[in-house]
Amino acid sequence: FFLLLGLLENLAPSSIGPILGKVSCTFTYPLTYPDRVSVGLKVGEIAEDRFVLHHLVWSQKHQTCAAFGEGRIVMFDYQTGKKVLIPEGLHTQLQAWRG
């Protein structure tokens, strides 16, 4: 998702980037080999300095949800060690993905 948004490329010259602040995952169905999975991602809440990504793992073999959860991504200045505001361009992109 970050590659699709160009997030890492656009922020590479600076010390600001995303960091995982919190993650949760609930496994709902056991995956076994051989199986193929599809992973879905949806942008959730967007705040000034963070956003939430909801994810879902779908078993192609069993045609059911195998896992779901969310990750809280915080914008972080790696030089100062402090959180920062989401850059305006990224905020606009996230809003567009939110629908």
Question: What are the structure tokens assigned to 66, written together?
Answer: 């195998």
The region of weakest confidence among 2-6, 12-16, 26-30, 57-61 is 12-16
Task: Please name each of the domains of the chain with its CATH number.
Answer: 25-98 (3.10.129.10)
SS3 of the chain: the string is CHHHHCHHHHHCCCCEEEEEEEEEEEECCCCCCCCCEEEEEEEEEECCCEEEEEEEEEECCCCEEEEEEEEEEEEEECCCCEECCCCHHHHHHHHHHHC
pLDDT reported for residue 96: 93
What is the tens place of the pLDDT at every residue in 8-45? 776 666 788 899 999 999 999 999 999 999 999 999 99
Within 8 A by CB and 6+ apart from 72, the residues are 20, 21, 22, 23, 50, 51, 52
pLDDT reported for residue 12: 62
